[in-house]
Amino acid sequence: MAAFADRWPKLVALLLGAVSATGFAPLNFWPLTLLAFAGWMALVAQSPRGRHAFGTGWAFGVGHFALGLNWIATAFTYQAAMPAWLGWVAVVLLSLYLAVYPALAAWAAWLLRPKADSHFAAPSYLLAFAGLWALTEWFRSWIFTGFAWNPLGVVAVPHVAAPARWIGTYGMSAIVCLLAAVLILAWFRRRVAASALSASLLVLWGAAFLTQAGAATDAVVRSKGMKRIPITVVQPNVGQQDKWEGSKADANFAKLARLTAPKDDRPRLILWPEAAIPDYLETGYPSYYYDRAPAAARGRLTNLMNPGDLMLLGALKLEFDKAGDAVGARNAVMTVHADGTLGPRYDKAHLVPYGEYLPMRPILSAIGLSRLAPGDIDFWPGPGPHTLDLGAFGKAGLQICYEIIFSGQVVDRAHRPDFIFNPSNDAWFGAWGPPQHLAQARLRAIEEGLPVVRATPTGISAVIDADGRILASIPMHRPGRIDTTLPPPHAPTLFARFGNILPVGFALLLLAAAIAFRRRGR
């Protein structure tokens, strides 16, 4: 095996990258992730030159992302007039780009390995690798608008993810790399280093776990004197192939209506998925845009509500130019009161390239690639995270679908909400996308110390407490509803107060420690 790795290091790295992705949902084979990372770190350290280290890192990244993001191929099958094979082309092309980040981490770690001891069990090399992985993962979250899907730290959810309260997702990714480093140190019998690193990680986890437990106890005590807010989460099981089929619009609404009908007369917060209805609820559009008058569309909703109910649902809003032509759209969450009036609205800010808008539309349209994004107009972004005051139902932070994956960017810190509502449409995410999406939402709950509620058309809808635990859920491809009360929030976590400055600082601390070890020749 060692001889094969010496001869074909990039092929071995590609295979290790694919194995490492099995730690993500739905497989959750996280021990394989640790073993794959340990093997890859060993390959990189043995590279004869920096460009070889970069190539080995790039090959690993291609395997890692191609398997983990396979659901994107399914998503492309729902694009109008697009051949199915193009989805796999998209997966490969995206993986080729995303692999640059592991390649940079590998190259920089190779440069920082000790000159006198090029062995890959050198503590300085392993610490540098963990810090650099975290930094490059953070870079990936915002460069070119960012694509933060499947950060390595999500494999720790929920059992050992408590340190995310302090060091966030990218800090957790560094810890996963350090756990792989423990395997390397133990294998090569560097007992002192392995014991010291293991003890440090255990102390960090133990302290975070005890702090989390204390926060949970405080939240329960505080909630005893607070009003518990009843919620109804609806999952209609409307597939992507039916969602925008005009002839099925009434049948789709009937599914939502049947599952929403009140069971008693208690006021409740009703939570529907992203883009739940095709109707425009706001007035003021040219009449030919309406299939149903706004008053009638809102009336269909209020017929399902108790007098004191409030509904949050995904809907579309159009933007017009002075001539009255639609020039843009908003992916929005509307607030509908039981009397039919509209409350505050949230517009999705972090849009999906090629899904909700077409970058460089004039150029791509001119060469016949406008079909890469559905529709003739683009969605426009909203201003970013903000909190909706729902009166008796508390304060809601909104994150629509894809937005929930961006660590440190999901809450208006100046106006902290009581919970995060994450309406989504995972119906076109295949078998792997929805459980991965759910796992990342759970990590947001731990980071921010806030409950997260997800409503999706086909699953997985869930109520997640502020510790990332799933209190109630509806499986994929099943209709259902969840009737429960909102879990209490924790006091703001350290991460909730300071955001990604903490994981970046943690990564830099690891790099500083690596440089110190290297200079001492240890």
Active site positions, annotated: 274, 348, 401
- Report the residue count for the chain: 522
Closest C-alpha to 253, from 36, 468, 98, 457: 457
| 400 touches 348 (CB < 8 A) | yes
Residue with tokens 């903000």: 386
DSSP collapsed to 3 states, 99-128: CHHHHHHHHHHHHCCCCCCCCCCCHHHHHH
| 88 touches 73 (CB < 8 A) | yes
Task: Record the tokens describing residue 295, joined without a space.
Answer: 């008053």
Closest C-alpha to 52, from 3, 96, 13: 13
| 78 touches 240 (CB < 8 A) | yes
For residue 353, give every residue at least 6 positions away whose Cβ sits within 8 Å of its Cβ, in sequence order, or none.
145, 359
Closest C-alpha to 39, from 190, 181, 134: 181
How many other CB atoms are found less than 10 A from the CB of residue 2? 8
For residue 442, give every residue at least 6 positions away whose Cβ sits within 8 Å of its Cβ, in sequence order, or none.
157, 158, 161, 452, 464, 468, 469, 470
